[in-house]
Amino acid sequence: MIGTVFRSEDVPAGERFGRWRELIDQSRANDASSPHAAYFRAELRVMELGPVTVWRTAFSPATFRRTRRRIRRNDAELYHLSLLTDGRLTLVHERGGTATIGAGGVLVDASRQACTSHAYASAASAASAATAATAATAEGRPGVVAGVGVDLPKNLLPLPPRQVERLLGHGLSARTGPGTLLADFLIGLDRQAETLRPTDGPRLGTVTLDLVSAFFAHALDAEAALPSETRYEVLGRRIRTFIEQHLSDPELTPSTVAAAHHISLSHLHRVFGEQAPGETVAAWIRTQRLERIRADLADPALRDRPIHALAARWGMPRASHFTRAFRAAYGLSPRDYRGTACRSVQGA
């Protein structure tokens, strides 16, 4: 497992808010308060990925205040990215103006800003009164706010600081383009944290940096400033995401993938080869389809669905071709695999 985990239920009630506040303060120096401090609920996972740190947190509604002294107190030259996955976050600038984001929104901040070290206050709350009421417990506790944060050294971002400053304190969206790739990666990273090893950290940190760089560059219309390695990494992930979203289309081929991304077939293979040496695009498409069909065959809820229907569902409508490919991949016919999987579930 990568990182450390804090859960408020593991701490005496009177110490929960203070302990959580101390952990948050280590990276994002601020004065935090909450009207729910007496029964504060929070979870926090901190993942150290080389020079990049990823935070996943869920907590009771709270407010934060960043003074100039607090901002300058942190010696680290960092950019802080906050992706909200549940709730609302409103930021009020010292010099006027506000920014509000909901789920799928992003705010960017920085420590030790030379020209923009303006104080601000922010309030994190449940998405709406209805959401809060639905999420409330029997004790009347409010719903939680949830999100993922990224802290990365400024000098690692391949964009001029003066350009990035234009993003600070403004609400951005992670629902389109590189933002979607970044959000999916960060959320997936947290879900897989229990299975990751410390040796995975540096590589995952590099991927995080590439995706944040692409997200910032897209927001600034400065993609040309990114190094070719970053562009390849992001394009490769965009291609894989596109393939996963279109596996049900039997017409999905390397040629259609290349056309959808406005690149040549040779460029597609070159980009794909950077991330998966020795594996072709067509082979990866076939593997992804077979994996999903295999999962469906093992699903008791789908045991009455014809095998050919499950295959067609994932873009393999030709029964003979599918059967040969499945047997070559797993050593069993689809029918035998389903029977073995069902017996295994019944005997469990």
The CATH number of residue 211's host domain is 2.60.120.10
Looking at residue 280, which CATH number applies to its domain?
1.10.10.60
- Domain hosting 221: range is 4-226
Residues 174 and 322 in one domain: no
Residues 73 and 205 in one domain: yes
Q: What is the rounded CA–CA span in Å between residue 248 and residue 317?
A: 10
- The residue out of 179, 208, 226 marking a domain boundary is 226
Residues 151 and 46 in one domain: yes
Residues 187 and 263 in one domain: no
Q: What is the rounded CA–CA span in Å between residue 146 and residue 140?
A: 19
Residues 29 and 167 in one domain: yes
Residues 36 and 179 in one domain: yes
B/e letters for 209-231, b = 16+ CB within 10 Å, e = fewer, are bbbbbbbbbbbeebeeebeeebb
Residues 262 and 219 in one domain: no
Q: List the chain pLDDT tens, one digit each, 348 residues.
A: 567 789 999 999 889 999 988 888 877 777 888 999 888 999 999 999 999 999 999 999 999 887 766 666 655 688 889 999 999 998 887 766 788 899 999 998 877 554 445 567 888 887 654 444 444 443 445 578 999 999 999 989 899 888 898 898 889 999 988 999 999 999 998 888 888 888 889 889 999 999 999 999 999 999 888 888 888 888 888 899 899 999 999 999 999 999 999 899 999 998 888 777 788 999 999 999 999 999 999 999 999 999 999 999 999 999 999 999 999 999 999 999 998 887 776 655
- The residue out of 191, 226, 261 marking a domain boundary is 226
Number of compact structural domains in the chain: 2
Closest CA to 322 of 330, 305, 332, 334: 334
Residues 220 and 256 in one domain: no
Chain center to CA of 11: 28
Q: What is the rounded CA–CA span in Å between residue 157 and residue 130?
A: 40
Residues 72 and 13 in one domain: yes
- The residue out of 194, 226, 258 marking a domain boundary is 226
